[in-house]
Structure 1
Amino acid sequence: MSNRLHTVTPVVLSSTMSSRVPGCSVYLKMENQQLSGSFKLRGIGYHAQQAVERGASHLVMASGGNAGLALSCAAKILAVPCTVVVPVTTAEPILHSLKLDGARVIVSGGFGVHGDDYNSATKRALEEAKNPKSAYIHAYDHPEIWEGHSTIIEELEEQLPCKPEVLVVAVGGAGLLCGILSGLQKIGPKTVGACSLEGPGMVSSCSLEGSETLSSCSLDGPWTFYFIVDSVAKSLGARMVCSQALQWAFQFKVLSEVVTDAEAVSSCLQFADDQRVLVEPACGAALSAVYYGTICRLQEQGYLQMKSTNPIVVVIVCGGSGVSLQLLQNWEKSTGIVQTDAVHSNNSHD
């Protein structure tokens, strides 16, 4: 992908997290280091870039979080104006960041008019995009977005010593998941290592309590995916999953897991201790697969069967800008996390 707007992010081997999955090496794909703060710059940046090449001179989106920040960042790089319609509940720091990037921000809501949730904000954004020179950019559900996200797989091929056996991926609307699957389809019979795409595989779906999960599906495939739909993390609060994700999910075995709000937030806190990095609870939900022993449990139950002698687990650290030290402390209190929690027992650092 030439003239990309995103950056190639590092892959970090975490000895601390590896110690929680005995016999495995846990690598972190640090998407939090994208210019916009999350992986979303990959897909939204590419989609915006293609829209401009097709003649658009104004970009429009409905988003109250990381997708909007990715668009405002992309629009700034592309030197085109953009409008982001946000729900009335959007946090002030997000509004501030959008405006710093030069975005026109419409806070539309109240009394059920527009913007009181994502769906109504979308209606207003579609109205804004009716101009022939405007392009509506979806937050996650578009093939060009998935194409942009698929570059994660291309980079992992180059960065890892061998094929990973488990990918840990957080899912809200499933744009990232679609990108990962799209990347694997492009690889064809190859994988990161010399193994073929033929053979048993697994996709795991995990949710925060109170949220919906992807349905269980099955087919063959050699990679393992662990994806998460979250209720407390606002950046994973999509109303529905990409239909393409549901279609592609039939190519893999799917296992659903549930992550509590406390586990997601606690994992953010532990990750801050281990890696000195702040991430949103959406990302914490993915991290909990390591911190709360889900991968180990699935191995013990026979759902995960590692093939190599030193299997690689990759956690996509999706990032997110809706986090601060104060917010983490507030979430810690609101979820009732206590410092004696088992996840805090390991105080070593990478």
Structure 2
Amino acid sequence: MALHIATPLLPSNAFDPGPGQQVWLKMEALQPSGSFKLRGIGHACEVYAARGAGRIVASSGGNAGLAAAHAARRLGLPALVVVPQTTSGRARALLAREGAQVCVHGISFQEANAYAQSLLGPQDAFIHPFDDPLLWEGHAGMIDEVADAGLRPDAVVLSVGGGGLLSGVVAGLRRQGWNDLPVFAVETAGADSYAQSLAAGERIELPAINSIATSLGARKVSEHAFALARTHPITPVVVTDGEAVAACLRFMDEHRVVVEPACGAALALAWRPGGPLAAFDKVLVIVCGGATATVAQLQAWGAQLNVQSANRMSETRS
């Protein structure tokens, strides 16, 4: 039995589409661990458990760590999750609630990741947050569900951090024979390593993450995600933190679901008037989720960035 669930595919009229346009939402925020990460990480954990792994080790203070801890608990395996010092108290509490041993090390993901790998024993399985073909294979299933529902979109919108979701979605599109279907990969300014890499023609490493969308905070995208842009129509898009938070607040108002700014980046593009999506009739938005987001934190960011909720966004469009 799979550790993830088949998530709803919802048509939404909250995006004020143009004539004849329909926006569909793939609600990955409703996964048991709070994000799409459970698809790929759950699949990887199942494979490693079948191969005899005795413990799951992960390096992430966010959605990937939560997915690994959830999967390990469901499989009856102990889990060790190494997080950097910047990981919020809420995230640490959620990891502990899943039964994981939480180890705090380093000031960045890179340091936590290296330390996690140094702790690996012969019976341990290491779960990378985004750079593992098993993850991409698991994530691809969300596109299978879209196809099974009878929808063939004209474009897909998703958030991109390290590239795991992007790699999985493209794998799913190819599995369905949708090799020409455009993908819009959205980041926030300050966490836009993918857009900068494609512009430079080589993978670049950001010196630091300067965005509140920390789940998009991969300073360097995976080689696989970078290479996909040479073989699949992928358009990078960068939005501001303010746009991402405003989209989260509006999505909360419109759909009664709380998501984090990393997810709000994709939603922001769907709400951008006159943007590149206007050319497509059927737009699929991957609502990737975010377990550590709270209403209070979104409201605090909104006040800090001088954005509010749906009413404010509607006024700015008129």
Judged with a 3 Å threshold, the aligned counterparts in structure 2 of structure 1 residues 339 and 127 are, in CA distance, closer, same or farther, namely: closer
**d(CA) in 2 for partners of 1:340, 1:49:** 41
Q: TM-score, normalised by structure 2?
A: 0.90
Q: Which residue of 2 aligns with 1:118?
A: 109
Q: Which residue of 2 aligns with 1:128?
A: 119
Q: Which residue of 2 aligns with 1:153?
A: 143
> SS in structure 1 opposite 2:173?
helix
**d(CA) in 1 for partners of 2:259, 2:310:** 22
Q: Which residue of 1 aligns with 2:164?
A: 175
**d(CA) in 2 for partners of 1:79, 1:94:** 22
> SS in structure 2 opposite 1:337?
coil
Q: Which residue of 1 aligns with 2:270?
A: 290
Q: Is the counterpart of residue 103 in structure 1 residue 113 in structure 2?
A: no
Q: Offset at 1:256?
A: 3.2
Question: 5+ residue gaps in structure 2?
Answer: 200-208
Q: Offset at 1:230?
A: 8.9
> SS in structure 1 opposite 2:187?
strand
Q: Offset at 1:276?
A: 1.0
Map Cα deviations across residues 190-231 of structure 1 (whole Å, 9 max, x no partner). x4xxxxx4x6x53434332233333449xxxxxxxxxxx993
Q: Offset at 1:124?
A: 1.2
Structure 2 residue corresponding to 1:328, chosen from 288, 295, 298: 298
Is residue 21–residue 290 contact of structure 1 (8 Å, CA) maintained in 2? no
Q: Offset at 1:299?
A: 5.6
Judged with a 3 Å threshold, the aligned counterparts in structure 2 of structure 1 residues 205 and 6 are, in CA distance, closer, same or farther, namely: closer
Q: Which residue of 1 aligns with 2:63?
A: 66
**d(CA) in 2 for partners of 1:153, 1:203:** 13
**d(CA) in 1 for partners of 2:79, 2:142:** 26
> SS in structure 2 opposite 1:16?
coil
Map Cα deviations across residues 76-121 of structure 1 (whole Å, 9 max, x no partner). 110000100011111111111111111011012xxxxxx2110110
Amino acid at match of 1:63: S
Identical pairs, percent: 40
Amino acid at match of 1:82: A
Moved more, 146-155 or 120-129: 120-129
Is residue 140–residue 175 contact of structure 1 (8 Å, CA) maintained in 2? yes
**d(CA) in 2 for partners of 1:54, 1:171:** 30
Structure 2 residue corresponding to 1:142, chosen from 109, 132, 154: 132
- Give the length in aligned residue pairs: 306
Q: Which residue of 1 aligns with 2:286?
A: 316
Q: Offset at 1:156?
A: 0.4
Matches within 5 A, 1:21-32: 21-32=18-29
Q: Offset at 1:236?
A: 1.0
Q: CA RMSD in A?
A: 2.2
Is residue 44–residue 137 contact of structure 1 (8 Å, CA) maintained in 2? yes
Q: Which residue of 1 aligns with 2:202?
A: none
Amino acid at match of 1:212: S
**d(CA) in 1 for partners of 2:17, 2:59:** 39
Q: Which residue of 1 aligns with 2:194?
A: 213
Q: Is the counterpart of residue 83 in structure 1 residue 80 in structure 2?
A: yes
**d(CA) in 2 for partners of 1:339, 1:267:** 8
Judged with a 3 Å threshold, the aligned counterparts in structure 2 of structure 1 residues 230 and 183 are, in CA distance, closer, same or farther, namely: farther
Which has more radius of gyration?
1
> SS in structure 1 opposite 2:193?
coil
Amino acid at match of 2:143: I
Q: Offset at 1:298?
A: 2.0
